[in-house]
Amino acid sequence: MECLNNLKQLALASHNFASSRNGELPLLENGTYGWPVAVLPGLDHNAVYRDYTAKSGTSKTPVWLKVFTCPDDPNKDRKPMGLSYVANAGYGNFRVDSKTGRVSEVGSHTADIDWDGDGNIDDADRAVSRASGVFWRAHDDGFRMTLDYIEQADGMGQTIMFSENLNARNWASRKTMDIAFVVGRDALGFEKKPSSRGPLQIQSETLGAFWMNSNDGSLPGQSPVPSSNHPTLVFVAFCDGRA
């Protein structure tokens, strides 16, 4: 129940963030801090927010914030900077080491993926990427994810916003796999020719390291998928606030 409540609070804080910004959700990270810091005011942690958004060079006090950790995550619960929850960052350029199973990011997480394989990344490609996730970095095209954008696509009740993850790093991190769950673009294979169902019909999927697992936290920041120590399940929060 504590874990479910934490996820609901994170979703509500994200809604509060958006309500004062024309529906715009927090960025995955804005060049200074990530989504966990951005939602701190909505979690009644204004003092911590001021501390972690102060000018560089100032000291940051390592603190444990109950809302960021699941009681069943022994590596993070009651630990300074502990984080058990990650944001939905959709598909990206990620590679899996065939020997170790570790996932690494190629470049910086972005919507710039050549989905149709034509050698050119355009607005249509970016639209496909953004339809796969909720939290993205700023892009020079000025796009910002909004609740309306999500509602008009798959719908807020169908789109996951946050999930548990035993391998999250800490809530002050700005690295994608420390604070987000993702799927590698190469985990999907597509039909070669467009059909009446659309231009990108999935032909095959090899999720492997990107599928839900129960890793014990031994790969911090390297296993960016939903995972937990709850028996047989993983808790998530949807964009409509339901957990």
pLDDT for 123: 93
pLDDT of residue 198: 63
pLDDT for res 117:
81
Instruction: Give me the torsion for CA of 154, 165, 136, 58, rounded to 10°.
Output: 150
pLDDT value at residue 98: 86
Q: What is the mean pLDDT of each run of 10 residues along the chain (243 residues)?
A: 97 97 96 97 96 79 96 95 97 90 90 88 92 94 95 93 95 96 89 68 86 79 90 94 96
Q: What is this structure's pTM? A: 0.93
How many angstroms separate the CA atoms of 157 and 237, rounded? Answer: 10
pLDDT of residue 168: 94
Q: Any residues with CB less than 8 A from the CB of 234 and at least 6 apart, and which?
A: 163, 164, 212, 226, 227, 228
Q: Are 203 and 189 in contact (CB under 8 A)?
A: yes
In this prediction, residue 73 carries a pLDDT of 95
- Please report the pLDDT score of residue 188 as a whole number: 84
Q: Closest by alpha carbon to 27, among 131, 129, 109, 137? A: 137
What does the domain layout of the chain look like in residue ranges? 2-238
